[in-house]
Amino acid sequence: MKKPVLKQIDGNSINYWMLLALLGSFVLAAVGAHFYMEHGGHYVTGMNNQIVWGLPHVFAVFLIVAASGALNVASIASVFGKTAYKPLAPLSTLVAIALLSGGLMVLVLDLGRPDRLIVAMTIYNFKSIFAWNMIFYNGFFLIVGIYAWTMLQRNLNKYSRIAGFSAFIWRLALTTGTGSIFGFLVARQAYDAAIMGPMFVVMSFSFGLAIFLLILLATYKWTDRPLGDATFIRLKNLLGVFVAGVLYFVVAQHLTNLYATEHHGVEAFILRDGGIYTQLFWYGQIIMGGLIPLALIYHPTTGKSRTAISIASLLIVLGGMIQMYVIIIGGQAYPLELFPGKEVTSSFFDGVVNSYNPTFAEGILGVGGFAVALFMVAFAVKVLNFLPESLADEAVDPHHSK
């Protein structure tokens, strides 16, 4: 097979600059939202002492999880030696770094004291999974950055396999760590489950690849570069497997909980009685984010249509965000089980389903995370050689060139 030629995009069109301007304005709006929230305090948000993590965390955790998943394509190329994925590996690393940057920006800007970030970077409590994650996140930038470098600089190519392998192990640890933020919470009925770590890994595969596929399809369409069916069909089939994988983990999680009487309350809340959370779970997460994309991906007609697969990918992203919302917000909305078998009331909202009304500022901050990620990708493909000039079938399929 010929070595793929990586070439930066021209990026001279008005549309390109308009895209950068649009993304840039979303980033600025997010920074504005941050100052608005930090100026007087978090009272301007919908978050409170019951729902302590809100919409910004939904966006942040989604982006961080998706970042790890966006590295899939590179991992498949380097770790599992699938040559067809090799031309896409540099872009995969770029999207991974960009999504993590966006996610972390949102997470940091929502802190009560973001000015003390240096404290979080220098003082570690090693029993805290949060502290581990700081190391995982910073290490991810370093390792994936080195990995990208070994692929982009020709005389370092020989190191790309070992760098790719390190990045693969690191990303698995990172996503397990992110899932464990919830898995390690013994206090809350909706969390405290070992399945959270592995489930987040599979969620990352699905969300990350969906975003990667959307970026790939858009970029190749907008730059008029050839993208053959060989690459496209491979990626969308893989996406289908990942979506099914997420559904499998969700079924396993809820079935396990349904078996144990102590979890019946929280399961009834999410699956049946939780109002908005129940609706989001069934209509948003399962049907819109799981079943419809699966049908679009595997249906003989829609499975070949790039428009249909783009819609499927978009639905997976939206369904993934909703899944995060149900996990993070729904999990907190369900009251703490302080006195099993007893009804509890107090002035501090004990025993009641907690309410949360996200504000516009929180949403803008979260969307800003996406904007940062997409801005980074759009800018980087113009200044560095991340994108293969051609992904036409004969350029990527070994059987065409052999």
Partner 1 sequence: MSPKHSDKNTNEYRRKFLAQSAAVAGLAIAPGIVLNQVAHAKADADKVTGSTRWGMLIDTNKCSKGCTDCVTACSDENGWGGTNSSETHSSKEQQAQWIRKVTITDKQTGHVQSLPLMCQHCETAPCVDVCPTGASMKRKDGIVLVDKHICIGCRYCMMACPYKARSFIHEKLELQKNNAPRGIGTVESCTMCTHRVDKGNDPACVEACSKAEHGAMIFGDLKDANSAISIELKKHGGEQIRADLGLNTGVRYQGL
Which residues of this chain interact with partner 1, rule CB under 8 A? 38, 40-44, 47-53, 111-114, 116-117, 119-120, 123-125, 127-131, 134, 181, 184-188, 332, 336-339, 341-350, 354-355
- Tell me how far apart the alpha carbons of residues 102 and 59 are, in angstroms, rounded to a whole number: 9
Toward partner 1, which CB reaches closer, 109 or 243?
A: 109
Long-range contacts of 135-138 (CB under 8 A, 24+ apart): 136/170, 136/173, 136/174, 136/177, 137/64, 137/100, 137/104, 137/174
The torsion angle over the Cα atoms of residues 222, 227, 232 and 234, rounded to 10 degrees, is -150
State the Cα–Cα distance between residues 106 and 370, nearest whole angstrom.
9
C-alpha 179/C-alpha 196 separation (Å) is 5
CB of 263 to partner 1, least distance (A): 13
- Cβ closer to partner 1: 318 or 353? 353
CA distance 356 to 52: 10
CA distances from 102 to 95, 155, 356, 376, 397 (A): 11, 31, 24, 9, 33
**Residue 284: CB minimum distance to partner 1, A:** 23
Q: How far is the CB of 130 from partner 1 (least distance, A)?
A: 4
Nearer to partner 1, 26 or 191 (CB): 191
Q: Least Å distance between CB 106 and partner 1?
A: 13
Q: State the nearest-atom distance from the C-beta of 104 to partner 1, in Å.
A: 13
Nearer to partner 1, 136 or 386 (CB): 136
- In DSSP notation, 170-213 reads HHHHHHHHHHHHHHT-TT-TT---TTHHHHHHHHHHHHHHHHHH
CB of 339 to partner 1, least distance (A): 5
- For partner 1, which is the closer residue by CB, 268 or 392? 268
Q: Which is nearer to partner 1, 337 or 389 (CB)?
A: 337
